[in-house]
Amino acid sequence: MQRYFIENDFEHHQVTITGDDVHHITKVMRMTTGETIICCNADGKAAICEIEEITTSHVIANVVEWVKAEKELPVLVTIAQALPKGDKLEYVVQKGTELGASHFIPFTAKRSVVKWDDVKVEKKVKRLQKIAKEAAEQSHRLKVPEVNGRLHLNELIKASAHYDVKIVAYEESAKAGESKNLARALSNMKKDDTMIAVFGPEGGFLEEEIQLLTEHGFVACSLGPRILRAETAPMYVLSAVSYHTELLG
Ligand code: SAH
């Protein structure tokens, strides 16, 4: 069933859909009254709804049944990705959303080849938010992950202050044979805890960046003995989080 993330809340078991989704429901899906869709609000509440009224500006639908299935990871994971080249960040947001990330923060690392100027940031972030929304719909998530504007490393460190668990994926830890830190970080996590995981660009991290991060409470982790591409590394961590918190239980 087609899923829509609604901006207006449910009111008296009814929802009013506006914006781009109206076009999607009426023109792309060619739906009519009486057909059903799934609507999710910003709090992750979802319901099967029957379309009651269609106009050019809105669609009104009535709740038929609340959806109770748990689709969100039991912990909140923020992926902080150093700006990579080309469209790799789009890949990270799309696949990371499928794997359950709740927040993405692009940031500038010393070896990031790409620079986003302030004009570019707004456009890029808008596009990434759209990708996150579509991926959340496609993967039956109840929440659309947030995509932050681009930060610099020192701003990222400031923003990380309130997280319960802070890790940085460090290729040199992998080369040195470190193998315990990620598992340890995951086993300390309880339901609703927050984790921030930081990933380097194609060229990796400078030692001074790792030093700065570890001075601020980040634990440098290996993701196994193979060196992963910048866009693969966050998927490893998200898969490990899902395995640990949802499957091992
Ligand atoms: N060019 C670097 C690798 C960079 S990989 C080199 O050859 O050493 C890009 C980013 O992915 C890294 O900065 C790190 O955050 C993450 N990463 C990739 N493989 C990893 C591994 N095995 N362990 C930890 N982090 C890894």
Distance, CA of 25 to CA of 34 (rounded, Å): 13
The token duo for 208 is: 């001074």
| Tokens matching residue 25 | 């429901």
Pocket residue to mutate for ligand 1, from 226, 228, 236, most atoms within 8 A of Cβ: 228
What is the rounded CA–CA span in Å between residue 127 and residue 171?
Answer: 29
The C-alpha atoms of residue 92 and residue 206 are separated, in whole angstroms, by 22
Length of the chain measured in residues: 249
Which of 213, 227, 232, 237 for mutating ligand 1's site (highest number of atoms within 8 Å of CB)? 227
Q: Is 227 in the pocket of ligand 1 (CB under 6 A)?
A: yes
Dist CA 15 CA 36 (whole Å): 13
* pLDDT by residue, tens only, the chain of 249 residues: 899 999 888 998 999 999 999 999 999 999 999 999 999 998 888 999 999 999 999 999 999 999 888 899 999 999 999 999 999 999 999 999 999 999 999 999 999 998 888 888 999 999 999 999 999 999 999 999 999 999 999 999 999 999 999 999 999 999 999 999 999 999 989 999 999 999 999 999 999 999 999 999 999 999 999 999 999 999 999 999 999 999 986
Return d(Cα 105, Cα 151) in angstroms, integer: 7
